[in-house]
Amino acid sequence: NLLQAKRFGFTDEQIANKLNVTADAIAALRKAHAITPIYQMIDTCAAEFESRTPYFYGTWHGTSEVVPSERPKVAIIGSGPIRIGQGIEFDYSSVHAVWALQKLGVETIMINNNPETVSTDFTVADKLYVEPLTIEDVVHVLEAEGCQDVLIQFGGQTGIALAHALEDKGYRLLGASADVIDQMEDRDRFYQFLDGIGVAHIPGEEVGSAEELTSAINRLGYPCVVRPSYVIGGKGMYIIRTNEDLVRIAPSLNYPLLVDAYVNGRELEVDCVTDGKTVYVPALLEQIEAAGVHSGDSTMILPPVKTSLAQQTEIEAIVQTIGQALAYKGALNIQLVLKRTMSSMCSRSIHARHGPCQSSVK
């Protein structure tokens, strides 16, 4: 029955919910009865001649065609399903991660279920698995390959959402622990982090109800920005300018959420990379639209034209302070707001990924 359920496509979690047990209990039961997925090679030659491309899909039928190597190996979690024109920086930064690892002689295992991306070109990684980016499916691939090291920071929020579950199952996240990622992603924790290193940030707090929201806005004053704690803009974000706005918007909000003072200023964005000690800043982008506009929806100028050299120097100093204080290695995206003077510079958020703002590690 369990094997048939898996062949029908039910996940361990779905089966566990029906039986009132945990997904781990179902996984253990499967393994006790040797019920595990197998991986077969996708024929990229349309059966014209034998295909030897390491391009795999999972199934619960037949015999596995995967032969794990003894080489050092790292799995890279891709970006998952994305719309055309959305999140392509996640995909291509995953490709660069593959190339960098290959230069070091490391075998690369790409896991991504979007066939319309560069990272899922079967000539990029040493092995490609077109599998859903759920914790169950990713762990199945890692078990099949005997891989313990995982890179999640280049694929955006889809991979980052697996951080805690992967660590709980004993896998090693390269570059940052799940706790550090949460520290960057959770606005309340990130603000505490900035307070601890003496970097100014826009006043804000997390609230859990409409009553707490009203109290927070009374303390912060109008206008305010409200949004889910793990989202920087777009869906679920509102600018509340008056009490009438608050009365109209409050019933539609989902809690908990973050409320920030709205700063009417200019926004700047820094893409950088750190080895945990030094931060390299190759790019400072100046946003044309007003602060608060999702940077994925804003036009950027590179290099900046309105930001003075003194302000650019201060920005780099802020970035160095943040990067050196984090227990983190990899790509960072930091967004800042310039109100009127350099002393008003506020760090708005930090993204553990490459490229324009999306919902990822913030």
Q: In this predicted structure, what is the pLDDT of residue 243?
A: 92
User: Would you call 69 exposed, middle or buried from its count of C-beta atoms within 10 A (0-12, 13-18, 19+)?
Assistant: exposed
Backbone φ and ψ of 100, nearest 5°: -65, -40
- pLDDT tens column, 65-111: 898 999 999 999 988 887 666 667 778 888 999 999 999 999 999 99
The set of residues, in sequence order, having a beta carbon less than 8 Å from that of 266 and lying 6+ positions away, is 286, 287, 290, 291, 306, 307, 337, 338
Please state the domain extents for the chain: 36-174, 183-199+264-351, 204-261
User: Rounded distance, CA 322 to CA 351, Å?
Assistant: 12
pTM: 0.81
36-174 CATH choice from 3.40.50.20, 3.40.980.10, 3.40.50.300, 3.40.190.10: 3.40.50.20
Mean pLDDT of the chain: 85
Q: In this predicted structure, what is the pLDDT of residue 354?
A: 34
Q: In this predicted structure, what is the pLDDT of residue 22?
A: 95
Q: What CATH class does 204-261 carry?
A: alpha beta
User: Rounded distance, CA 359 to CA 341, Å?
Assistant: 29
CATH 3.30.470.20 fits 183-199+264-351, yes or no: yes
- Residue by residue, DSSP assigns 135-175 as HHHHHHHHHHHT--EEE-TTS-HHHHTTHHHHHHTTPEESS
